[in-house]
Amino acid sequence: MLLIQLIIGLIIGSFLFASYSRLQLGGSIFYPARSRCDSCSETISWFDLVPVVSYLVLRGRCRWCGFKISKETLYSEIYFGCLLVSWQPTLLRFCYVVIGGLLFFMALNDSRHFEFPAWHGYLLMLFAVTVYALFKPHHAIIFIIIVGWIVPQIWQPHFAWIGNGDLDVFLCLLILFGPIPFAWLLLLSSVLALIGSKVLKLCRLPFVPFIAAGYLVVLFFI
């Protein structure tokens, strides 16, 4: 069963990223019906569309013109593959998977532009509050956190050590998971970001990709 979930996740990740890329370039999800190379416009054969495998076999390049395929394609397939492995036939787990998918595209925007669309943050908060209201024990502290999220939407503070968008994501995930799982998520995200900064030798890194990676790990243990 887990293998089937993994395969479905890989396919979903490939489809979602391809659709996202088309929309970003001003195209349509439905046209052209067959995938094409962004450089030479050659139609891509079905055996070059096998998630992960085709990317590795082709070494991340178009078979026809050698155009370099974005590594984000591979990341999307692997991420959604792992995300679907964590799925279980419950409404709560379905919500976790949807939130995980939203986090991936927030991470994608953050890695490219060091920001993500505001409506992504609002959608994340909506999911977090909905899951909390339906499935979690209610505590006064959570209402304080929700107010703490709303206030920065009106008054935008500026912190040197963390971006406002990152703070929004953390507050949403605290509401979603509760204190203990969130503490693990915060620890994992910070450690991964620290390792990333040392490996890439960068002073400034997009943080949401590391939050998404930490979310994926925590999801397997809750």
CA distance 77 to 62: 17
* SS3 call for 135: helix
* Pair (93, 42) in one structural domain: no
Rounded Cα–Cα distance for residues 128 and 102 (Å):
12
The tens digit of pLDDT for each residue in 23-80 reads 877 767 767 667 777 778 778 887 778 899 999 988 888 888 888 888 999 999 999 9
Say if residue 72 is in the same domain as residue 135.
no
Do 104 and 195 fall within a single domain?
A: yes
CA distances from 177 to 73, 95, 219, 220 (A): 29, 12, 10, 13
Task: Find the angle CA(5)-CA(63)-CA(39) to the nearest 5 degrees.
Answer: 100
Domain count, the chain: 2
Residues 50 and 133 both lie in one domain: no
60 and 153 part of one domain: no
Cα(100)–Cα(208) distance, rounded to whole angstroms?
A: 12
Q: What is the pLDDT of residues 76-120, one digit of tens each?
A: 999 999 999 999 889 999 999 999 999 999 999 999 888 888 889
Domain region containing 213: 86-222
The residue out of 85, 102, 135 marking a domain boundary is 85
CA angle 48, 64, 72 (to 5 degrees): 55
* Nearest-angstrom CA–CA distance, 9 and 81: 4
Same domain, 118 and 153: yes
* Cβ contact 168:76 at 8 Å: no
Most distant CA pair in the chain, distance: 60
